Amino acid sequence: MTDLCAEDLATIYAKPSPRVIAKARPAIDAHAKKFIEMSPFCVLATSGTDGSVDASPRGGGIGFAHVAAPNQLLMPDRSGNNRIDSFRNVVEGSGFVHLLFFVPGIDETLRVGGRGTLSIDPDLLASMVEYGKPPRAVLNVAVSEVYFHCGKALMRSKLWSPEKVQRSVMPSIGEVIHDQTGLGEPESQEMVEERYKTQL
């Protein structure tokens, strides 16, 4: 297998069209705002001090992320595994963040990039209560780039197809982690779902 170098890329890929370059906007416009307000899920990518990259899923009710201004996006942090890899990268690493928003049923996705900071301002936390709980912190993104991705990847994957994998074909997350680590209990899927009811 031969690894490509930078010069090889131009021989494989055509230059992007002016329209593709121009679609990257410096702020959240009306279309991007509407998409974010419809989105219940995104992937948050951050970079660490050692050049490592972390990507983690984030979600909530529809419109869980809030557009505070054209260049300000607020995203509450809900209960998770407490590794805080993403937030450690925000406060110790480059501070650069990218979010990729999804809306079920729409094949296009929206990328939002900028620099992030974290806040635990009591009034801000109180304004973002969901499932009866305030977030533990809020990611405040100073937005510098926003653009829509075409729907080809989701169309190829048929991500929104009504044909779904049955959950029973895969062990529960509790069983997987027990097999991998030997730690904790091998909880069944029913036990995991019951625990999640009090931890969302």
The reported pLDDT for the residue numbered 185 is 85
The tokens of 14 are what?
Answer: 């055509």
Q: Are 33 and 39 in contact (CB under 8 A)?
A: no
Q: Are 137 and 116 in contact (CB under 8 A)?
A: no
- Tens-digit pLDDT profile for residues 79-97: 888 889 999 999 998 899 9
* DSSP 8-state assignment for residue 130: B
Q: Residues in the chain with pLDDT < 50? A: none
**Cα torsion 7, 55, 116, 103: sign:** positive
- Tens-digit pLDDT profile for residues 42-83: 999 999 989 889 999 999 999 999 999 999 999 999 888 888
**CB neighbour class for 72 (10 Å; exposed up to 12, middle 13-18, buried from 19):** middle
The reported pLDDT for the residue numbered 38 is 98
- Which residue spans of the chain are classified as CATH 2.30.110.10? 17-158
The reported pLDDT for the residue numbered 197 is 79
Q: How many residues does the chain have?
A: 200
CATH of domain 17-158: 2.30.110.10
